[in-house]
Amino acid sequence: MEDAERSDQLDLMTRSTLLKIGLAVGVALLVGWAALYLWFDYWVKTQREPPPALAAGLTAPYEQWPALVQRTFPEGTPEAVMVARLKADGFQVDPVAHRAFYDWKDFPCIGRASVEWSAGDGRVTRVDGDWQNVCP
């Protein structure tokens, strides 16, 4: 009988130990998943940047951006004024190619607002805008 009682005690101790190990592993997994979630949430938020200030308030930028660009820089606008405004808003401007673009991160995508124009005698003769979102 003593052997049976010892065996039962060992089984009870083994079960208790396994339960404690299982609980510890479960807690470690839970803490790990929580840390991963918080890190990912933080990382995603840092992978977002705002679109250009010029686009503030647009509710349908794909449709509204070209018209906004044309209203903001109508024909006859001094090219230097337009270029200065675009640079102030963070656009990368190539005055020789008459192009400007603004890229921003919008996880998981990359947004791009662009402006293309023609000029003569230092004044804008044509301007157009394009809004893109490139996603993997």
pLDDT tens digits for 35-72?
666 666 655 555 567 788 888 888 888 899 999 999 99
Residue 66 confidence (pLDDT): 95
Q: Is the pLDDT of residue 77 over 80?
A: yes
> For residue 81, what pLDDT is reported?
96
Residue 58: Cβ within 10 Å count: 17
**Partner residues linked to 78 by β-bridges:** 123
Plot region of 117 (φ>0 → left; ψ -120 to 50 → alpha; else → beta):
beta
What pLDDT does residue 44 have? 56
Looking at residue 52, its amino acid is P
For 101-126, the pLDDT digits (tens) are 999 887 788 889 999 999 999 999 99
Confidence of residue 6 (pLDDT cuts 50, 70, 90): low
